[in-house]
Chain A
């Protein structure tokens, strides 16, 4: 790392910078997806003006040209499949899936092809592909644009699943994902895009499979997934005002998952609260709960508690959407109850 001062960068800008750096450094990195340039094929000054639905891929076309910045028709299955095939053939494609809710259109390519090729072919294949996607409730995008599908992909052997919770992590985790020789699903919460933070100017990687203790404490462990880490931190500040010291853990990656970091924290605090924006059944929250109860049951002073969305699609209307997303108030009060009652 060099010693240049960090600057305030949004999550969207941090991701954009990371893609620029990776493509600049390695000719085999390409990017492919819907509207990643905008005005594709027109060749004039308007081409590339859009830079993705969320502006995350801005400037890539100008820097790297249409051979390596492939704007596509709306064909999610083919986009994923072509990228996976190109990865098998030696490129390192980044796919912009736009929204997490669109991955089901490409599910065969992800589940039956990308995830299984290495295993089925006895280790011959390397599939260094990153599928990036936006996700999350809070924008009023409702049912078909808001899903946080990371649990579904965590279930599938052969995939890696990354859930950055802040811009500086997004930069290091994306750099590590692009360098990884496995298919990686990289979930970018809509809340992350606008969040600003000091982000190092230097290039760096954050290893996949290593959790971060974001805040230390000894009374209760709160594991947050993606932007729920930020809510857990806010709750921890409120809990401190009433004398409760919460430890907040960001797993950073769900597959692989850093069990030991979570187990060690629970051994210390004896209490575990998991906060996850996705529905509760067969989910990452449920998975972490099971893993902890199997491994460190004796350390628990209270039942493990999960705060998730209800088991519903994401609703439109603001009060319904607010009821869907785990709130700081709910995290604070449930954490407090876990300590008062146990």
Chain B
């Protein structure tokens, strides 16, 4: 295993900060009421998207979930394109046809968020199949939540990926809750990674508040896939710092569990590490925040001043010509 470099540490931090600040801004803007649809926040899970995607290029594929903003940002999607999509604008990544839950960026290998729980798992396997058939060393990642762990498609795809040794990494973002249902109730094993045993490939659980641990485990799994050794299941245990969706009153979750989840925030320990290693000074962090904040302000302005789609185009893009 290669040691993480200072440069990579800084990149991880910046990506995570970009995700966090994007989500915080979206939360504020969403509450104003002029953003259509549903929004699910990635806050608290930043180390997973950043720690996995830092090892990928544009020609590696990912499939994402309804909670997919972090994956988009880590895969390189721009704030402007994303925010315009969230606001349903013609300039959005999906021309306002998809929104938060169906955002995609094929140019960056981002094969789509997915509003069907588990819906993207087999699609990423298809990306892996394409890579394998072409004989490249490119890989596919499928991100999914603990809610998807009890979907049949996961079983079918894990088995298929195992027998074909697909270059596919299953990344389960376990935040402990499938909407209102605790994973302790819904799932038959204490660690979701235990299920990899049933398919004969490695499964590993990582604490997603430990960014470096996520980075290292993802690196191993991705190297294994590039070396044609087949799939890995990574379970990243995340503190769900917010509700299921923006506006979720969360009457079902005891206050102490909410408080405990907030102690799992991956960003403060990473900031301490950067300071301890003298990679950043306090004024650098202020500067980063200012830069990202400015970029977000520009992107929100861009989105809100972008044209809405013309209703007359409702039938366009159903079929490829």
Could you tell me the distance in whole angstroms from the C-beta of B69 to the nearest C-beta in chain A?
Answer: 16
Contact with B along A142-169 (1 / 0, CB 8 A): 0000000000000001101000000000
Could you tell me the distance in whole angstroms from the C-beta of A36 to the nearest C-beta in chain B?
Answer: 14
Taking CB atoms, residues of chain B closer than 8 Å to A112 are 116, 119
Contact with A along B150-173 (1 / 0, CB 8 A): 001100110110011000000000
Taking CB atoms, residues of chain A closer than 8 Å to B48 are none
Q: Which residues of B contact A (CB under 8 A)?
A: 61, 63, 92-98, 102, 104-107, 111-112, 114, 116, 119, 121-127, 129-133, 152-153, 156-157, 159-160, 163-164, 316-321
Contact of B156 among A75, A85, A118 (CB under 8 A): A75
Q: Kindly state whether residue A90 has any CB partner on chain B within 8 Å.
A: yes
Could you tell me the distance in whole angstroms from the C-beta of B5 to the nearest C-beta in chain A?
Answer: 31
Can you sample 14 A-B contacts with CB below 8 Å? Answer: A80-B122, A82-B125, A85-B126, A86-B130, A87-B126, A88-B127, A91-B129, A113-B119, A113-B123, A118-B317, A120-B94, A122-B98, A125-B112, A181-B321
Residue on A nearest B93 in the bound complex, by CB? A122
Instruction: State in angstroms the CA–CA spacing of A73 and B155 once bound together.
Output: 12
Determine if B106 and A77 form an interchain contact, defined as CB atoms under 8 angstroms apart.
no
Give the A-B contact count at a CB cut-off of 8 A: 146
Contact with B along A81-101 (1 / 0, CB 8 A): 111111111110100000000
Determine if A89 and B131 form an interchain contact, defined as CB atoms under 8 angstroms apart.
yes
Residue on B nearest A126 in the bound complex, by CB? B320
Instruction: State in angstroms the CA–CA spacing of A273 and B157 once bound together.
Output: 45
Instruction: State in angstroms the CA–CA spacing of A120 and B127 once bound together.
Output: 19
Taking CB atoms, residues of chain A closer than 8 Å to B123 are 81-82, 84-85, 88, 113
**Most A CB atoms within 10 A — which of B63, B92, B107, B156?**
B156
Determine if A124 and B104 form an interchain contact, defined as CB atoms under 8 angstroms apart.
yes
Could you tell me the distance in whole angstroms from the C-beta of B57 to the nearest C-beta in chain A?
Answer: 14
Q: Kindly state whether residue A304 has any CB partner on chain B within 8 Å.
A: no
* 19 additional A-B residue pairs with CB within 8 Å, beyond A86-B127, A89-B111, A126-B320: A68-B133, A72-B160, A73-B156, A73-B159, A77-B122, A77-B153, A81-B153, A85-B126, A85-B129, A87-B126, A88-B106, A88-B127, A89-B131, A109-B122, A118-B317, A120-B112, A122-B93, A122-B94, A158-B319
Q: Kindly state whether residue A43 has any CB partner on chain B within 8 Å.
A: no
Determine if B106 and A121 form an interchain contact, defined as CB atoms under 8 angstroms apart.
yes
Q: Kindly state whether residue A30 has any CB partner on chain B within 8 Å.
A: yes
Could you tell me the distance in whole angstroms from the C-beta of B190 to the nearest C-beta in chain A?
Answer: 26
Determine if A118 and B127 form an interchain contact, defined as CB atoms under 8 angstroms apart.
no
Instruction: State in angstroms the CA–CA spacing of A90 and B132 once bound together.
Output: 12
Residue on B nearest A88 in the bound complex, by CB? B111
